[in-house]
Amino acid sequence: MEYNNISSNFSANQYSDSALTTKVNTVLEKMTGNISFPNPDPALAEVKAKNDLFTLAAAKAPQGGKQETANKNQLREELVSLLKRLVIYVELTCKGDETMLLSSGFDLHKKASPVGQLPMPEGLKAIVGASRGSLVLSWDVVKNARVYELMYTEAPEGAETIWIHKISSKHQIVIEGLLRGKEYLFKVAAVGSDPNLVWSDPISSFVL
Protein backbone atom coordinates (compact mmCIF):
# COMPACT_ATOMS: atom_id res chain seq x y z
CA MET A 1 0.00 0.00 0.00
CA GLU A 2 1.22 3.51 -0.84
CA TYR A 3 0.60 6.74 1.03
CA ASN A 4 0.68 10.29 -0.26
CA ASN A 5 3.02 12.67 1.53
CA ILE A 6 4.02 16.29 1.08
CA SER A 7 7.56 17.25 0.14
CA SER A 8 9.05 19.17 3.06
CA ASN A 9 12.30 20.08 1.30
CA PHE A 10 12.43 23.88 1.39
CA SER A 11 16.22 24.16 1.16
CA ALA A 12 17.98 26.81 -0.94
CA ASN A 13 18.88 24.08 -3.45
CA GLN A 14 15.18 23.39 -3.93
CA TYR A 15 13.83 26.94 -3.64
CA SER A 16 15.59 30.23 -4.23
CA ASP A 17 14.50 33.10 -1.97
CA SER A 18 12.04 34.39 -4.56
CA ALA A 19 10.75 30.88 -5.34
CA LEU A 20 10.17 30.23 -1.64
CA THR A 21 8.06 33.38 -1.20
CA THR A 22 6.07 32.41 -4.31
CA LYS A 23 5.45 28.90 -2.92
CA VAL A 24 4.36 30.32 0.46
CA ASN A 25 1.96 32.73 -1.25
CA THR A 26 0.50 29.82 -3.24
CA VAL A 27 -0.04 27.78 -0.06
CA LEU A 28 -1.63 30.74 1.72
CA GLU A 29 -3.97 31.34 -1.23
CA LYS A 30 -4.96 27.67 -1.47
CA MET A 31 -5.48 27.13 2.27
CA THR A 32 -7.29 30.37 3.09
CA GLY A 33 -10.98 29.56 3.36
CA ASN A 34 -10.32 25.89 2.50
CA ILE A 35 -12.88 23.88 4.47
CA SER A 36 -10.48 20.91 4.54
CA PHE A 37 -8.20 22.85 6.88
CA PRO A 38 -10.36 24.57 9.53
CA ASN A 39 -7.65 25.20 12.16
CA PRO A 40 -4.18 25.42 10.59
CA ASP A 41 -1.21 25.02 12.93
CA PRO A 42 0.58 27.39 12.74
CA ALA A 43 -2.08 29.96 11.90
CA LEU A 44 -1.97 31.21 8.31
CA ALA A 45 -1.71 34.79 9.58
CA GLU A 46 1.52 33.87 11.38
CA VAL A 47 2.95 32.30 8.22
CA LYS A 48 1.96 35.34 6.13
CA ALA A 49 3.53 37.77 8.60
CA LYS A 50 6.82 35.84 8.56
CA ASN A 51 6.75 35.54 4.77
CA ASP A 52 6.21 39.30 4.42
CA LEU A 53 9.22 39.99 6.64
CA PHE A 54 11.34 37.49 4.71
CA THR A 55 10.29 38.94 1.34
CA LEU A 56 11.29 42.44 2.46
CA ALA A 57 14.60 41.21 3.91
CA ALA A 58 15.38 39.26 0.71
CA ALA A 59 14.86 42.41 -1.35
CA LYS A 60 17.21 44.42 0.87
CA ALA A 61 19.97 41.80 1.20
CA PRO A 62 21.68 42.25 -2.22
CA GLN A 63 22.32 45.96 -1.56
CA GLY A 64 23.00 45.53 2.15
CA GLY A 65 25.94 44.27 4.12
CA LYS A 66 26.57 41.14 6.16
CA GLN A 67 23.96 42.15 8.73
CA GLU A 68 21.18 42.37 6.11
CA THR A 69 22.15 38.97 4.70
CA ALA A 70 22.28 37.42 8.16
CA ASN A 71 18.84 38.86 8.96
CA LYS A 72 17.43 37.47 5.71
CA ASN A 73 18.90 34.02 6.38
CA GLN A 74 17.49 34.00 9.92
CA LEU A 75 14.02 34.93 8.67
CA ARG A 76 14.21 32.22 6.00
CA GLU A 77 15.06 29.64 8.66
CA GLU A 78 12.10 30.77 10.80
CA LEU A 79 9.77 30.71 7.77
CA VAL A 80 10.87 27.20 6.78
CA SER A 81 10.28 26.04 10.36
CA LEU A 82 6.69 27.33 10.16
CA LEU A 83 6.19 25.66 6.78
CA LYS A 84 7.36 22.29 8.09
CA ARG A 85 4.90 22.55 10.98
CA LEU A 86 2.16 23.39 8.49
CA VAL A 87 3.12 20.37 6.37
CA ILE A 88 2.63 18.10 9.39
CA TYR A 89 -0.76 19.66 10.13
CA VAL A 90 -1.90 19.14 6.53
CA GLU A 91 -0.71 15.53 6.43
CA LEU A 92 -2.33 14.66 9.75
CA THR A 93 -5.58 16.28 8.57
CA CYS A 94 -5.63 14.67 5.11
CA LYS A 95 -4.57 11.15 6.18
CA GLY A 96 -3.10 10.45 2.74
CA ASP A 97 -6.04 11.79 0.67
CA GLU A 98 -4.32 13.02 -2.51
CA THR A 99 -7.05 15.48 -3.52
CA MET A 100 -7.06 17.14 -0.10
CA LEU A 101 -3.26 17.26 0.00
CA LEU A 102 -3.04 18.92 -3.40
CA SER A 103 -5.69 21.47 -2.40
CA SER A 104 -3.24 22.83 0.20
CA GLY A 105 -0.89 24.19 -2.46
CA PHE A 106 2.02 22.05 -1.29
CA ASP A 107 3.81 19.62 -3.61
CA LEU A 108 3.50 15.88 -3.11
CA HIS A 109 6.57 13.83 -2.34
CA LYS A 110 7.43 10.90 -4.59
CA LYS A 111 5.30 7.99 -3.45
CA ALA A 112 7.08 5.29 -1.53
CA SER A 113 6.06 2.19 0.34
CA PRO A 114 5.75 2.99 4.06
CA VAL A 115 7.54 1.12 6.82
CA GLY A 116 4.17 0.49 8.42
CA GLN A 117 2.57 1.66 11.62
CA LEU A 118 5.13 2.96 14.09
CA PRO A 119 5.21 1.53 17.61
CA MET A 120 4.13 3.31 20.76
CA PRO A 121 6.84 5.63 22.13
CA GLU A 122 8.29 4.47 25.42
CA GLY A 123 10.02 6.20 28.31
CA LEU A 124 7.78 9.27 28.41
CA LYS A 125 8.70 11.44 31.39
CA ALA A 126 8.32 15.02 32.59
CA ILE A 127 10.76 17.20 34.53
CA VAL A 128 10.53 20.77 35.80
CA GLY A 129 11.39 23.36 33.17
CA ALA A 130 13.72 26.35 33.47
CA SER A 131 10.86 28.83 33.83
CA ARG A 132 7.87 28.80 36.15
CA GLY A 133 4.86 27.00 34.77
CA SER A 134 6.91 24.90 32.36
CA LEU A 135 7.70 21.20 31.98
CA VAL A 136 10.20 19.39 29.76
CA LEU A 137 8.73 16.24 28.23
CA SER A 138 11.03 13.60 26.75
CA TRP A 139 10.73 10.03 25.47
CA ASP A 140 12.75 7.34 23.70
CA VAL A 141 13.53 7.73 20.00
CA VAL A 142 11.21 5.82 17.65
CA LYS A 143 12.96 4.59 14.50
CA ASN A 144 11.53 5.99 11.23
CA ALA A 145 9.56 8.70 13.05
CA ARG A 146 9.35 11.89 11.02
CA VAL A 147 8.07 13.95 13.95
CA TYR A 148 6.24 13.36 17.22
CA GLU A 149 2.79 14.55 18.27
CA LEU A 150 2.24 15.29 21.95
CA MET A 151 -1.12 15.85 23.64
CA TYR A 152 -1.76 17.22 27.12
CA THR A 153 -4.68 18.27 29.29
CA GLU A 154 -5.50 19.08 32.88
CA ALA A 155 -6.16 16.09 35.12
CA PRO A 156 -8.38 14.27 35.71
CA GLU A 157 -9.54 13.18 32.25
CA GLY A 158 -13.29 13.26 31.75
CA ALA A 159 -16.02 13.15 29.11
CA GLU A 160 -15.49 16.84 28.24
CA THR A 161 -11.68 16.78 28.34
CA ILE A 162 -10.01 18.83 25.59
CA TRP A 163 -6.52 17.72 24.61
CA ILE A 164 -4.01 20.29 23.37
CA HIS A 165 -1.78 19.11 20.50
CA LYS A 166 1.89 19.96 19.96
CA ILE A 167 4.31 18.85 17.24
CA SER A 168 8.03 18.25 17.85
CA SER A 169 10.77 17.25 15.42
CA LYS A 170 12.82 15.92 18.36
CA HIS A 171 12.08 13.38 21.10
CA GLN A 172 11.74 16.24 23.58
CA ILE A 173 9.55 19.33 23.92
CA VAL A 174 9.14 22.17 26.40
CA ILE A 175 5.55 23.00 27.38
CA GLU A 176 5.16 26.49 28.84
CA GLY A 177 2.29 28.53 30.24
CA LEU A 178 0.96 25.74 32.44
CA LEU A 179 -0.95 26.59 35.60
CA ARG A 180 1.21 26.22 38.70
CA GLY A 181 -0.10 23.75 41.25
CA LYS A 182 -2.18 21.93 38.62
CA GLU A 183 -1.80 18.31 37.58
CA TYR A 184 -1.58 17.56 33.85
CA LEU A 185 -1.77 14.42 31.72
CA PHE A 186 0.58 13.85 28.77
CA LYS A 187 0.84 11.28 25.99
CA VAL A 188 2.88 11.08 22.78
CA ALA A 189 2.79 9.30 19.41
CA ALA A 190 5.38 8.87 16.66
CA VAL A 191 4.32 10.17 13.23
CA GLY A 192 5.50 8.28 10.15
CA SER A 193 4.12 7.49 6.69
CA ASP A 194 1.24 5.50 8.15
CA PRO A 195 -1.51 7.91 9.29
CA ASN A 196 -2.57 5.62 12.16
CA LEU A 197 -0.94 6.76 15.40
CA VAL A 198 -0.20 4.60 18.45
CA TRP A 199 -0.37 6.73 21.59
CA SER A 200 1.73 6.08 24.66
CA ASP A 201 0.11 5.43 27.99
CA PRO A 202 -0.55 8.83 29.61
CA ILE A 203 1.64 10.07 32.43
CA SER A 204 0.75 12.75 34.97
CA SER A 205 2.84 15.55 36.45
CA PHE A 206 2.25 18.52 38.74
CA VAL A 207 3.46 21.97 37.69
CA LEU A 208 5.58 23.99 40.14
Confidence of residue 1 (pLDDT cuts 50, 70, 90): very low
* 45-77: pLDDT as tens digits: 999 999 999 999 999 888 878 888 999 999 999
Q: What is the mean pLDDT of residues 138-160?
A: 92
Closest C-alpha to 24, from 10, 7, 5: 10
- The pLDDT score that the predictor gives to residue 206 is 94
- Cβ neighbour number for residue 49 with a 10 Å cutoff: 13
Q: Report pTM.
A: 0.54
Q: What is the mean pLDDT of residues 176-186?
A: 95
SS3 40: coil
How far is residue 188's CA from residue 16's CA, in Å, rounded to a whole number? Answer: 35
How far is residue 202's CA from residue 199's CA, in Å, rounded to a whole number? Answer: 8
